Amino acid sequence: MILKTLFGIALALSLTYIFKLVLFLDYHKTVWNHRPGKCHIVEGIDHGSEDMQTTKSGLTFITSGIDGPLFSPTMKEYHKKDNVRGRIMLFNLEKPADGVRELMIVGNQFSYEDFAPHGISVLEEKGKIFLFVVVHRAEEDTVEKFEFLEKTLELKHLKTYKGTLVHLLNDVAATGPETFYTTDYGYYRNHVLHFLEQIIGLYYGHVLYYDGRDFIRVSEPTYMANGITLSKDGRHVYVVSSAGKKFIVYKPEANNRLTKINEVELDTFPDNPTIDPVTGDVLLGCHPIGFKITKHLNDPSTEIAASQVLMLHMDKSGTNVTGVTELLSDDLELYGSSSATLYKKRMLVGTVCHKMMYCEVNTL
């Protein structure tokens, strides 16, 4: 009798876990395709436009060719076969007809070997444009700082930031010329262990802050803290937990520590946030069907994934979400949307390892 009871309990718990996993991976969801206006694929990017940020003048800097320890051997073989390499691209939203171009990196201390850019943040200061970029290399993750040389359309490498608290970085948000927040996505730099860390739901990540000297932990343990950005007024830090399906609002304290003041659950896997420069609302590149993006990231050559862009409407304080607008939903041309940026009713939508889309926005 005791064995039957224990078996019944184990079976019930197993079925409950499987049911929750099916819901979590969105096997029950359907994608309804729609766009905010005329859209087209941008020629020149075929292997990812994972993250992007736009300056006040419409210059959009894009990371492409993401790679790293979190990806499967099949993905790595795909990269090798297609000769995928890490690049930083430029698209001018003031002149969208000009298309996209690669920015060459100059500097004696920079190496293109195993260069895989991921998250990106733009800092405009005293007439200059600086980029902070998360980079995955074979042995470690770093944040790299560049200066944009507009006359020659090059990036000058200035500095590499590394530290003992860094494990598996994802995104970065610059707060000054030598300071920034960055998300330590997880602990394990191994594909299998990283997958288990995600599936089991281990809170092994943190938000880190580089204070000009070293990295410090400034948040509670996090579950897959992915994209990060500052609010329009700089008074709040927005973080998304991709596997947690959450949008989190933090308030920086005097010591740069972060206090969580709001958490919004989303019925999608959010990736990278950017800020509408006019309203302060938050754009999110999202993955609306979990099992499809999982299969796509394992084998982009045969598996497709849906794309979604959400606009989170923020109140005047920048702490509360007052509504959500789905600007784009697509699984016909664009697979695995990870970021979006808006400028003068023009929008770019990036992907983890697919193409990039340009849209005219007529629905806001």
Residue-wise pLDDT for 260-286, tens only, equals: 999 999 999 999 999 999 999 999 999
Mean pLDDT, all residues of the chain = 93
Q: How many domains does the structure of the chain reveal?
A: 1
pLDDT tens-digit map of 50-60: 999 999 999 99
pLDDT tens-digit map of 82-120: 899 999 999 999 999 999 999 999 987 888 888 999 999
Sheet containing 87-92, strands listed edge to edge, beginning at the edge strand earlier in sequence: 51-54, 59-64, 87-92, 100-102
What percentage of the chain exceeds 90 in pLDDT? 77
Quick one: pLDDT band at residue 321, thresholds 50, 70, 90?
very high
- The three-state (H, E, C) secondary structure of 142-176, written as one string: EEEEEEEECCCCEEEEEEEECCCCCCEEEEEEEEE
We report the CATH number of the domain holding residue 324 as 2.120.10.30
Overall pTM > 0.85? yes
Q: What is the mean pLDDT of residues 156-182?
A: 97
Quick one: pLDDT band at residue 328, thresholds 50, 70, 90?
very high
For the ranges 37-41, 170-174, 242-246, 334-338, the lowest mean pLDDT is seen at 242-246
Is residue 18 in some structural domain? no
Q: What is the mean pLDDT of residues 175-182?
A: 97
Please give the pLDDT value at position 287. 97
Is residue 25 in some structural domain? no
Helices and strands, number each (H, E), in the chain: 4, 25
Is there a binding annotation on residue 170?
yes
Is there a binding annotation on residue 320?
no
What torsion do the CA atoms of 352, 300, 32, 17 make, to the nearest 10 degrees? Answer: -90
Is residue 161 in some structural domain? yes
Please give the pLDDT value at position 102. 97
Is there a binding annotation on residue 50?
yes
Per-residue pLDDT at 4 exceeds 90: no
Nearest to 263 by CA among 294, 290, 236: 236
Quick one: pLDDT band at residue 168, thresholds 50, 70, 90?
very high
Is there a binding annotation on residue 197?
no
Per-residue pLDDT at 182 exceeds 70: yes
Is there a binding annotation on residue 18?
no
Per-residue pLDDT at 239 exceeds 90: yes
Is residue 23 in some structural domain? no
Is residue 172 in some structural domain? yes
Is there a binding annotation on residue 272?
yes
Q: What is the mean pLDDT of residues 18-34?
A: 83
Task: Provide the 3-class DSSP secondary structure of residue 293.
Answer: helix
Is residue 155 in some structural domain? yes
What torsion do the CA atoms of 80, 86, 87, 88 make, to the nearest 10 degrees? Answer: 150
Who contacts 257 (Cβ-Cβ below 8 Å, separation ≥6)? 218, 219
Is residue 196 in some structural domain? yes
Is residue 285 in some structural domain? yes
Sheet containing 246-252, strands listed edge to edge, beginning at the edge strand earlier in sequence: 225-230, 237-241, 246-252, 258-265
CA-based end-to-end distance of the chain: 63
Q: Is 118 a catalytic residue?
A: yes
Amino acid, res. 324: V
Per-residue pLDDT at 3 exceeds 80: no
Amino acid, res. 289: I
Q: Report the C-alpha gap between 119 and 169 in whole angstroms.
A: 8
What percentage of the chain exceeds 70 in pLDDT? 98
Quick one: pLDDT band at residue 7, thresholds 50, 70, 90?
low
- Which of the following is catalytic: 47, 79, 118, 354? 118
Phi, psi of 152 (to 5 degrees): -105, -5
- Structural domain span for residue 217: 39-360
Quick one: pLDDT band at residue 20, thresholds 50, 70, 90?
confident
